[in-house]
Chains A and B, each alone.
Chain A
Amino acid sequence: MDNINETVLEVLYSILPITVVITVLQFTIIWLPAEAFVQFLIGVLFVGIGLILFLIGVNVGLLPVGEMVGSALTKTKKLWVIILFGFLLGAVVTIAEPDVRVLSSQIDDVSGGAIPQSTLILAVALGVGIFVGLAMLRIIFKIRIVYLLAGGYGLIFLIAAFTPSHFVPISFDAGGVTTGPLTVPFVLALGVGVATVIRGKSASSDGFGLVGLASIGPILSVLILGVIYG
């Protein structure tokens, strides 16, 4: 029960402040028709309840499995199994990530269907998957995170030179939204699971940096998508 109260509060805290700012704007500067505003408030209600249910579901059923999978994987002691399933999990979780869905449907909308939602989601999922796989490698081989970050962003700026300009903002945004309410806890649980089995307790700090790496992947993959489309 405690857990549920916490989730409810969490969701309220992340939704209410902006709702208040928007309400103030509505009645000072904007004055959109009441109908539109009521529709917005219903939207807030739906989003709030939806997020609460979603997070409870993630906590009850999805996260525990993430951790179990993390440690079960490592016990197989097979490098390719760990990396393959790290990749699969990263990709599959991203496909279900709410923020990614919203961003991609907005891009689909704004581009008038030129950049279809399903293509974009697949690209983002591939990107996250590959970088979660890389992050597993990093934990196993103790590669310094700075190298991966520098290499990743270096590559981003290199590829961006060949990408049509309207893909650039989209790709960076994709990198930001991947780290939503499902991916972050999931990827962290997986990483901590792997790190703990491989290197014992002291490894917990290896869990840091996973999320940062995971958000490089989609930037790269959407940029590459742009190169292909352009």
Chain B
Amino acid sequence: MNLHIFEGFGQTMQEVAIALLPLAILFAIFHFIFLKLPIRKLLDIVIGFVLAFAGLSLFLQGVHIGFMPFGEQMGSVLGGLSYRWVLIPIGFVIGFFAIYAEPAVAVMVEQAEKVSGGYIPEKLLLYTLSIGVGISVSLSMVRLIYGFSLWYFIIPGYIIAFIMIRYAPKTFTSIAFDSGGVSTGPMTATFVLAMFTGIASQIEGRDPLLDGFGMVAMVALAPILSVLTLGILFSRKEKSQYASGASGAKAHYHDR
């Protein structure tokens, strides 16, 4: 077997060193001007940097030797299939599972349950998000197969989002737009994206640069729309409770 595991590792480490350097310098400036931390704290910070350096180097090496080449090859096989429609369900499955287990999403979902005083159960939001992102990834596949411009998805998406903001409570707006980025975990940005450019390279008339990218943007829209929808449902329920006087105490939720 002909494996290249540490090919270009030196270069990767160099890249990571350059990436972390500005942060280290800024910390040093801070330390001398404002913080003047004790030695023990400084030691923690140094250890933190060393770990981050080692981790980031390994991570990028893994992406370069494993994810990117395999993702691209996989994409070109998928793009070359005679039954291309199968990409659409595959997209859904990938999107669904990517979100369902994502730790960052778990944090967000918990937060939303707290903010809504338990009205939005964690599980409900988690399924809404997973299905939303699943649909996003399969729509990205549709876009790739038929060559629609990203605009046809992004513009209506954000217009709908901004209309919904008018009707959703303020806190939900913040959570919604924050969660847009949360959904794109380390697998989405690395493996799935490589797969998309691979598929784009196989379908005639598709430009990998123009059609292969844009998937992350679609994935980021799904949680925005899902959280706002739940926010609107939540505020309507609050209003009806307020009207019937059942829960006047919670009325402050709809000041926005």
Per-residue contact bits, chain B 166-182, to A (CB 8 Å; 1 contact, 0 not): 00001101111110111
A161 to B208, CA, bound (A): 21
What is the CB-to-nearest-CB distance from B218 to chain A, in angstroms, rounded to a whole number? 8
Please classify the interface of chain B as helix (H, G, I), strand (E, B), loop, or mixed, using the class held by over half of its residues.
helix
Residues of A with C-beta under 8 A to B78:
29-30
B51 in contact with A54 (CB, 8 Å): yes
Chain A residue numbers with a CB within 8 Å of B94 are 18, 21
Q: How far is the CB of A53 from chain B (nearest CB, A)?
A: 3
Interface string of A26-37 (1 = CB under 8 A from B): 100111101111
Q: With A50-B59, A58-B52, A60-B47 known to touch, is A21 a contact of B174 (CB < 8 Å)?
A: no
- How far in angstroms is the closest Cβ of chain A from B150? 5
The answer, yes or no, to whether B19 is at the interface (CB within 8 Å) is yes
Given contacts A50-B56, A111-B209, A146 and B165 within 8 Å (CB-CB): yes
Q: Which of A21, A56, A165 contacts B55 (CB 8 A)?
A: A56
| Complex Cα spacing A18 to B195, Å | 12
- CB pair A46–B70 under 8 Å, yes or no, is no
Report B-chain residues with C-beta under 8 Å of the C-beta of A42. Answer: 3, 5, 62, 65-66
A57: Cβ under 8 A from any B Cβ:
yes
Given contacts A211-B182, A215-B181, contact A47 B59 (CB under 8 A): yes
Question: Are A180 and B214 interface neighbours, CB within 8 A?
Answer: no
Size class of the A contact interface (CB-based, 8 Å): 35 or more
Q: Which of B120-128, B186-194, B237-245, B247-255 contacts its partner?
A: B186-194
| Residues of the B chain whose Cβ atoms lie less than 8 Å from the Cβ of A72 | 30, 34-35
* Whole-angstrom CA separation of A103 from B66 in the bound complex: 15
- Taking a contact as CB atoms under 8 Å apart, the answer to whether B70 and A39 are in contact is yes
Which residues of B lie under 8 Å from residue A143 when comparing CB positions? none
Q: Does B20 contact A (CB under 8 A)?
A: yes
Contacts of A64 in B (CB 8 A): 41, 44-45
Residue on A with the closest CB to B220?
A: A176
Are B102 and A14 touching (Cβ within 8 A)? yes
- The distance in angstroms between the C-alpha atoms of A89 and B24, with both chains bound, is 11
Q: Does A221 lie at the interface of the complex (its beta carbon under 8 Å from any beta carbon of B)?
A: no
B77–A30 CB distance below 8 A: yes
Q: What residues on A are CB-neighbors of B69 within 8 Å?
A: 36, 39
B81 at the interface (CB under 8 A from A): yes
Interface check A149, CB cutoff 8 A: yes
A11: min CB distance to chain B, Å = 8
Chain A residues 147-184 with CB under 8 Å of chain B are 149-150, 153, 157, 165-166, 168-170, 172-173, 175-181, 184
Q: Nearest Cβ in chain B — how far from A204, in angstroms?
A: 11
Give the docked Cα–Cα distance between A76 and B23 (Å). Answer: 21
Q: Is the CB of A53 within 8 A of B54?
A: yes
Residues of B close to A166: CB separation below 8 A: 207, 209-210
Q: Which residue of B lies closest to A7 (CB)?
A: B103
B74 sits at the interface (CB 8 A): yes
Q: Taking the complex as formed, is A25 at the interface, i.e. its CB lies under 8 A from any CB of chain B?
A: yes
Q: List 24 A-B contacts (CB under 8 A).
A: A14-B104, A42-B5, A44-B67, A47-B62, A47-B66, A50-B54, A50-B62, A58-B52, A65-B30, A65-B35, A68-B35, A96-B52, A98-B186, A99-B190, A105-B64, A106-B197, A149-B177, A169-B212, A173-B213, A177-B184, A179-B182, A181-B186, A208-B178, A209-B174
Give 11 new A-B contacts, CB below 8 A, not counting A11-B103, A43-B66: A16-B101, A40-B66, A40-B67, A50-B54, A50-B60, A76-B34, A98-B186, A149-B173, A212-B181, A215-B180, A215-B220
